[in-house]
Amino acid sequence: MPTRGQSIFLFYIVAINIIFCCVGYKSRQPNSWYASSTEEIRSFVGNRTGALSLVNIAIAVLYAGRNNVLISLTNWSHTTFLLLHRWVASIATLQACIHSAIYLYNYMESGEHATEAKLDYWVWGVIATLGMVFLLPTSILPLRQKFYELFLVWHVVLSFFIVIGSLLHIVLRFSRQWGYELWMYIAFAFWGFDRIYRLVRMTRNGVCKAHVTIIDEDYIRLDIPGITGEGQAYLYFPTLTWRVWENHPFSIAGGMLHDTPASNTIHQKTSVSSSASSAHASPTSTSDIEKAPNLDITPTSKPTTPTSTPKLGLSFIIRTHSGTTALLRSRSSLPVLVEAPYSGSILHPTHSTLNNHPRFLCIAGGVGITALLPLIASHHGRRKLAWGVRHASLLEGMRDLTENHSMTGVVVETTVGRRMDVQALVEEEAARNEGSLVVVVSGPPGMADEVRLAVARVAARGCEIEFVEESYSW
């Protein structure tokens, strides 16, 4: 669901496009172009929607880019711009369909369709419109999630033909006399800048070597020594499959590596084992359920196992699905290209405002903890982390990564084998009445929706509370 701010801006985009499509038409009869005022106004609407479709295509290309300059200028996240990209692309498709339908009707009514349909400008216009019509339904979320790599290739190829088709449609029809083709040149410029800057980021890091550690049946750990960064990185595995162009976004879990695992410096203040059932789900055995409601990650004693000096490097915790990530399990090491860094200031522009709240509640699900560790380390007030995982092996696999961040004084509550009661978590923290509260969630979409609902319920009672979702949009 869009946030309120996103919803307001989306309403503005839709409204202004409707207004621009509907106002400013005046009929001048008689004239040598149109036999009636109805045909004249109809043609004006066709021209206007066609022109606006070209504008929105260029804007949609800009919004889709990882290196979109508006991210820095507006302080909005890449996820927000991907949301806007989908809406603007839908509007452009609707406008192209209206434009095409009006001119199809006009030429069929005048008897000129058979002649016009054979001309190159008409053919390329049909290619562009049909490309947009096919692209829209094949970009729905279920298809993006199930066939992500195929979706990306299909999306880029079809988008290329849409822009080329639109360009040739205009040039062949008007011979560059009205300047409509400039919007397609702008679209290509946005696309080219983004791709070149991706290459610059990747070339700067060179070819790296990644080391794979299997944590459990769900997660693996990927360590890449020799480079550093924060926020997010896009990883390419050129020797893993023949699809060398494929890349995947991952949150950077840590920027320092140890040659040997760090010793256990997480000490438990209070430990409770429980076999109580969960309202959401219950594991197959009671031994899989643990709840440690007040863990302190502050080291209380020096490690007993010697550790080496930390070295620069990036660490990623990856949940393996079918496809490329599953193939990583068969390798102990492999070459990798790293497109990074996409730093926190770009990916997470809301971070600078989090310290405006004296209380900070982080709720993480599984590997979603990786996006929250830098936030926890940078906050200066009261900090609490609630972390839910399927298996305790993930806690152990990330132990040294959590120790590399400033976790002193953080109250940590872990839940293993079942879903957390997020409503109770938010209610408990809001009831402290120690100043405003910011709640940040990173995890599965269902968890984010639950936390959002819990925050809304608390806010409705007058609590000063802010909700932030850390997620990567498909």
Q: DSSP secondary structure string, 364-416? A: EEGGGHHHHHHHHHH--SEEEEEEEESSTHHHHHTHHHHHTS--TT-EEEEEE
Q: What is the pLDDT of residue 473?
A: 62
Which residues sit opposite 340 in a β-bridge?
Answer: none
Q: Which of 274, 295, 269 is nearest to 417 (CA)?
A: 274
Q: Which residues contact 185 (CB under 8 A, 6 or more apart)?
A: 167
In three state form, how does the secondary structure of 270-304 look?
A: EEECCCCCCCCCCCCCHHHCEEEEEEECCCCCCCC
Q: Examine the domain organization and report whether 157 and 249 are in the same domain.
A: no
- Helices 37-64 + 148-174 axis angle, to 10: 140
Q: What is the pLDDT of residue 348?
A: 47
Q: Is residue 174 part of a domain?
A: yes
The side-by-side arrangement of strands in the sheet containing 207-214 is 247-251, 232-236, 333-342, 207-214, 219-225, 311-319, 254-257
Q: Which of 223, 230, 266 is nearest to 351 (CA)?
A: 230
Q: Examine the domain organization and report whether 464 and 370 are in the same domain.
A: yes
Q: Examine the domain organization and report whether 96 and 58 are in the same domain.
A: yes
Q: Which residues contact 286 (CB under 8 A, 6 or more apart)?
A: 275
Integer Cα distance of 182 and 170 in angstroms: 10
Q: What is the pLDDT of residue 302?
A: 38
Return the sign of the alpha-carbon dihedral for residues 317, 322, 324, 329.
positive
Q: What is the pLDDT of residue 225?
A: 92
Q: Is residue 225 part of a domain?
A: yes
Q: Is residue 18 part of a domain?
A: yes
Q: Examine the domain organization and report whether 82 and 121 are in the same domain.
A: yes
Q: Is residue 182 part of a domain?
A: yes
Q: Examine the domain organization and report whether 70 and 194 are in the same domain.
A: yes
Q: Is residue 83 part of a domain?
A: yes
* Of the residues 200, 224, 243, the one at which a domain ends: 200
Integer Cα distance of 128 and 97 in angstroms: 10
To which residue do tokens 């010793």 refer? 263
Element (H, E) at 19: helix 4-22
Q: Is residue 32 part of a domain?
A: yes
Integer Cα distance of 236 and 451 in angstroms: 33
pLDDT, averaged per 10 consecutive residues of the chain (474 residues), comes to: 88 97 91 86 95 97 93 85 95 97 94 94 96 93 84 93 97 91 96 94 92 90 88 90 87 70 35 31 33 40 47 87 84 92 54 80 90 84 90 85 72 88 92 88 89 93 88 65
How many residues are listed for the chain in this entry? 474
Q: Is residue 313 part of a domain?
A: yes
Q: Examine the domain organization and report whether 234 and 373 are in the same domain.
A: no
To which residue do tokens 């990644």 refer? 210
Q: Tell me, what CATH number does 373's domain have? A: 3.40.50.80
How many CB atoms neighbour CB 253 within 10 A?
A: 24
Q: Which domain holds residue 247?
A: 206-262+305-342
Q: Examine the domain organization and report whether 403 and 332 are in the same domain.
A: no
* Of the residues 150, 180, 200, the one at which a domain ends: 200
Q: Which of 447, 214, 444, 209 is nearest to 320 (CA)?
A: 214
Q: Which residues contact 57 (CB under 8 A, 6 or more apart)?
A: 89, 92, 162, 163, 166, 183, 184, 187
Total tally of structural domains belonging to the chain: 3
Q: What are phi and psi of 344, to 5 degrees?
A: -55, -35
Do the Cβ atoms of 238 and 335 come closer than 8 Å? yes
Q: Tell me, what CATH number does 64's domain have? A: 1.20.120
Q: Is residue 474 part of a domain?
A: no
Q: Tell me, what CATH number does 315's domain have? A: 2.40.30.10
Q: Examine the domain organization and report whether 61 and 92 are in the same domain.
A: yes
* Of the residues 200, 223, 253, the one at which a domain ends: 200
Q: Examine the domain organization and report whether 418 and 280 are in the same domain.
A: yes
Q: How far is residue 309 CA from its own chain's centroid? A: 35
In angstroms, the Cα distances linking 429 to 88, 153, 459 are 39, 45, 12
Q: Examine the domain organization and report whether 251 and 388 are in the same domain.
A: no
- This prediction has a pTM of 0.81
Q: What is the pLDDT of residue 460?
A: 92
Q: Examine the domain organization and report whether 374 and 392 are in the same domain.
A: yes
Q: Examine the domain organization and report whether 451 and 331 are in the same domain.
A: no
Q: What is the pLDDT of residue 361?
A: 94
Q: Which of 461, 399, 390 is nearest to 431 (CA)?
A: 461
